[in-house]
Amino acid sequence: MNAEEADLQLNKLLTKFEIEPVDIEIYRTSMTHSSYLNEQGLPTWEGNERLEFLGDAVIGLVVTESLFFTYPETREGNLSKIKSVAVSRKTLGKTAAEIGLGIPLKLGVGESKTGGQRRNSILAAVFESFVGAIYIDKGFAEAKRFILKYLQPMIEDLGEGDTAQDDKSRLQEWAQRLVGVIPRYRVTGSDGPDHNKWFTVEVSLKGHPLGHGEGASKKSAEKHAAVVALERVEEQEDQDILEQLGLVSNEEC
């Protein structure tokens, strides 16, 4: 792919990602592989490797922050396991391929002929360098938005599979055993623009609030609300909780 075609594809991607570049050159750099520079007789530091280095650090911070707030009761060791999968070459390469980051990539002829634009290691590096470009051009908030848009669903899925029984299921079983109904979740607030919302959710039992949670998605806010509710119900006797809520247990029906 020549430089003109690469620029055209890059602009299409930026439009798709809702990114209005201040400096388009930094995004071009993020798409320039060392093999291309070698064939052009240019120094490798003009390619995407430095941005890859920066993007790797930004992704690590964003994913760590997301895990910290999404799973407030998960131990450090389990959080590290989830993070290692979420930021792995396999995950980032697969994500880059799915969203088309390999299309505007400038590779050397030899690398291109051997399928470099589909190679997982190269795609993972491009995801990191592209994040680095966003960070330099638009700042941390925009880089965070991009990362969470494509990695947050996986983070939540990995976290749900981290324990044999998630918090929402535990709360539901408690409620059904004592009262015979399931908890209800309701969004009570949201802040931020459409592409970077922060949700507040209330979980209740027969209209009586049990807890509130927050998160970058409705799902993560519901999980947080369930954690808060479980802390409340597990710290007290069942009968005391029911009396506070003005409810009657199944045993008394």
Query: Which amino acids are annotated catalytic?
Result: 56, 128
> What are the residues facing 196 on neighbouring strands?
none
For residue 24, count other CB atoms closer than 10 A to its CB: 14
The tokens for 18 are 């809702």
- The residue among 95, 26, 28 whose CA lies nearest residue 59 is 95
Long-range contact list for 245-253, CB < 8 A, 24+ apart?
Answer: 245/205, 245/206, 245/208, 245/210, 246/208, 247/178, 247/179, 247/205, 247/206, 247/208, 248/179, 249/178, 249/179, 250/177, 250/178, 250/179, 250/180, 253/180
Sheet holding 184-191, edge to edge: 184-191, 198-205, 208-215
